[in-house]
Amino acid sequence: MTWLYSLYWLGALAAAGPVLFHMWRRMPRGERQFSTLMFLTPSPPRITSRSRIEHWLLMLLRAAALGLLAFAFTRPLWRAAVTEPDEATNEQLLAILVDTSASMRREGVWTDLIQQIDERLAKLPPQTKVALYRFDQTFVPVADFKELKSMEASAGRELVRARLKDLKPTWESTRLGEALIRTATSLQEAQTERAKQAPQRIWLASDLQSGSETVALQGYEWPDDLPVELIVAHPKSPSNAGLQVVERNPESADQVLRVRVTNAADSVKEKFTLKWGLDDSPEVSVYVPPGQSRILLPPKLPAGLVSSVLQLAGDDDDFDNRVYVAESVPETRLVIYCGPESANDTDGARFYLDRLFAASHRFKIELREPSQANIASADSQPSLIVLTAPDADVQPLVRNHLSNGGTVLIASATPEATAASLALCGREGISVSEATVSKYAMLGEIDYEDPVFAPFAESQFSDFTGVRFWKHRKLEGLNVVDSKSEKAGVDSTGDADRVLARFDDGDPAIVEFSSQRGTVIVFAAGWQPADSQFARSSKFPMLMFRLLEHSTKLTPRTEGQVVGSALAWPTTSRAETSATGMARLPDGAELSSLPTDAPFHATSTPGLYQLSVPGRTEQIAVNLAAEESRTNPLTLEQLESFGLKMKGRERSDDPQRQRQRQRQLQLVELEQSQKLWQLILVAVIAVLLLETFLTGWFASKQNTEGSQPLPVG
């Protein structure tokens, strides 16, 4: 017999209470004379104490009830059924989470990490189930519990050792928070397949660089029974400086390359040099104190080079000392202008298009006349055709352009020219007349959900009230299906005309419809001074370039591609679409017949990648993530602030404590199965019932004999 809570035996001291109550009687204090008592026989006062006990049986029953009650609170159990836990059969679940991000490439870090893990694996209890996971930007199970389920613990550990030796650091960034959460989930799934919960823990093997992404942990409640033990690897030298490219604005005339040099807070070096990866490249001295960063201009790129690698020298660890630069070469776009205006006519629409396209830094736009276009050549296909006052000679050019999926912009200055342009595009039955305008008109309704106006949806770009139209054409006979009607499920017959914008008087301002395989966009008013102030508005360049992008379905690629990110294939006009493409990797290897309906994911190393599809080739610079240069280690307090249950290195008395906890758990389980306290409570009730019966019996007997009543205190 043993007890779970022995301290409750102190409650048995309450059994002394009945003894004291049986030996001590209180008497009235003080004396008061009443005249009505003169006829009664006086009796002596009761004594205040006595030295003998009259009813031993009642006293013992009352003391026994209190003693049994204290005995029940001690939660007794038969110890003979409890066996000491055997360490050999005490299974544990251990998940090893290894960091394979780019910062682990620092000198000495990976070797130190593998050595520490190997030493700790050798000291584990024999029956510990071990699983191995690795993480960088992605989480990868190397040897998880499902795979090791049917294997002995020793065989599973050897498999983990073998696969651990095959791991190598990658060039990707560090998503620490997501990796910890997925590891905890894997442990929970392994526990659900067990009949009894086993102790579990995680070994986090990493350099804990502060650039790790931990946002996912902020919204996750970490399990209380899942401690995390750190295995921190240290580099041979704490000095580390990183190099990153500052993103450039492709629309800006100043496309000078700027780079950022960052120096770690625990670095012991502060002087570096910057040069291109060429033997004869000039150098630029850089001074960056520890814990700070500098943005500067690199040396001028040697003549004739459009792409190269920029290197930072003077640092102990060079894994983040290179950035690759792919110079953005303006792409050529051909625009055919069909109208009588000359390029120097300030009253015509062409004058403003010439100046606008010439100022473009993203595209090299050639504005030509119809006679300069060769419709038979695939390389001379226009990106956009602008019709202001067309004639019958341009009909083959327009029809061929629409059949190839191109876009035609109609912006005629008169109703007759607008009607002729619509007929040229194959659209009949639309009546065009000059609208009556009082003073001026403005755009009152714009469909910002349409791709043409989608860039203007933000509040800082959506105000068109400053654009005034002196006159405009009125289009009647349109088969209008606006965006609201489409969402409501309204059916239309024939070709549907989408109204992208309306004037404040309700007349359509910009209309879009399909013709053959192409698209026709009609402006009811031009941008020349006689029609409106549109050409002098800040909205004009944005809308024209958006129409040019929309017409070719070509969108500029954003800079800042990092290792592990998916690269979109170059986009071409709809006449040049292809299902496959080719990629050239930084090491010169070529991958052909790649499907272009899915992004290119094989960006495992930094460098210059070249993606090619029929009609277009792009060179993309893929660099290391800037966060990997933040190599200052996270502190234990920072990790605990994320909710993690941290655990230090194992002490020598930990196995003994583990056995004691296991033994206590076995005793609790055994006590819950025996539940002796319930029988004891039944005995307490029986004793109290017996005591109540005897008290009543003795009282009735003594009342019959005329004796004093029994003490009940």
pLDDT of 691 reads 80
Clarify whether residues 613 and 528 are in a common domain: no
Cα atoms found within 13 Å of the Cα of residue 231, Cβ hemisphere only: 23
Clarify whether residues 72 and 171 are in a common domain: no
Beta-carbon count within 10 A of 2 CB: 15
For residue 579, the enclosing domain spans: 561-623
d(CA 134, CA 205): 9
Alpha-helical runs (H) found in 412-457: 415-424
C-beta separation of 614 from 591 below 8 A: no
Tokens linked to 144: 């998880």
Clarify whether residues 638 and 612 are in a common domain: no
C-beta separation of 273 from 312 below 8 A: yes
- Beta bridge partners, 94, equal 130, 201
Share of the chain above pLDDT 90, in %: 33
Clarify whether residues 141 and 58 are in a common domain: no
Per the model's pLDDT, the better-predicted residue between 553 and 287 turns out to be 287
What is the mean pLDDT of the segment spanning 528-555? 85
Assess if residue 110 is contained within a domain: yes
What is the mean pLDDT of the segment spanning 601-627? 90
- DSSP letter, residue 84: P
Clarify whether residues 598 and 501 are in a common domain: no
Any idea which residue has 């307090």 for tokens?
A: 637
Assess if residue 545 is contained within a domain: yes
Clarify whether residues 574 and 477 are in a common domain: no
pLDDT of 82 reads 46
What is the mean pLDDT of the segment spanning 127-138? 93
Most confident of 408-412, 496-500, 670-674: 408-412
Clarify whether residues 565 and 422 are in a common domain: no
Alpha-helical runs (H) found in 506-581: 539-552
pLDDT of 555 reads 61
Assess if residue 572 is contained within a domain: yes
* pLDDT above 60: residue 368: yes
Pairing state of beta strands 331-338 and 363-368? parallel
pLDDT digits (tens, 9 = 90+) for 511-520: 999 888 889 9
Pairing state of beta strands 307-313 and 616-623? unpaired
Note the pTM of the prediction, 2 decimals.
0.64
650 pLDDT band, cuts 50/70/90, is: very low
C-beta separation of 207 from 233 below 8 A: yes
* pLDDT above 90: residue 297: no
pLDDT of 652 reads 41
Assess if residue 304 is contained within a domain: no
Nearest to 174 by CA among 567, 609, 580, 630: 630
* pLDDT above 60: residue 259: yes
Please provide the DSSP assignment of 169-204 as one string: --S----HHHHHHHHHHHHHHHHHTSSS---EEEEE
**Rg over CA atoms, the chain:** 44
Alpha-helical runs (H) found in 642-675: 654-674
Mean pLDDT lowest for which of 27-31, 276-280, 406-410, 499-503? 27-31
What is the mean pLDDT of the segment spanning 623-630? 92
Q: How far is CA 676 from CA 1, 239, 671, 687, in A?
A: 11, 67, 8, 17
Clarify whether residues 393 and 525 are in a common domain: yes
* pLDDT above 90: residue 138: yes
What is the mean pLDDT of the segment spanning 483-499? 55
Clarify whether residues 479 and 537 are in a common domain: yes
* Conformational region of residue 700, where left means phi above 0, alpha means psi within -120 to 50, and beta covers everything else: alpha
Assess if residue 249 is contained within a domain: no
Assess if residue 281 is contained within a domain: no
Clarify whether residues 397 and 517 are in a common domain: yes
Number of domains in the chain: 4
Clarify whether residues 651 and 686 are in a common domain: no
Per the model's pLDDT, the better-predicted residue between 237 and 307 turns out to be 237
pLDDT digits (tens, 9 = 90+) for 557-599: 666 789 998 998 887 654 455 678 999 999 999 999 999 888 9
Clarify whether residues 431 and 531 are in a common domain: yes
- In the chain, what is the greatest distance between 2 CA atoms, to the nearest angstrom? 150
Mean residue pLDDT across the chain: 82
What is the mean pLDDT of the segment spanning 532-539? 91
Cα atoms found within 13 Å of the Cα of residue 176, Cβ hemisphere only: 27
What is the mean pLDDT of the segment spanning 450-470? 88
Q: What is the dihedral of CA 379, 381, 384, 386, to 10 degrees?
A: 130
91 pLDDT band, cuts 50/70/90, is: confident
C-beta separation of 472 from 524 below 8 A: yes
pLDDT of 458 reads 85
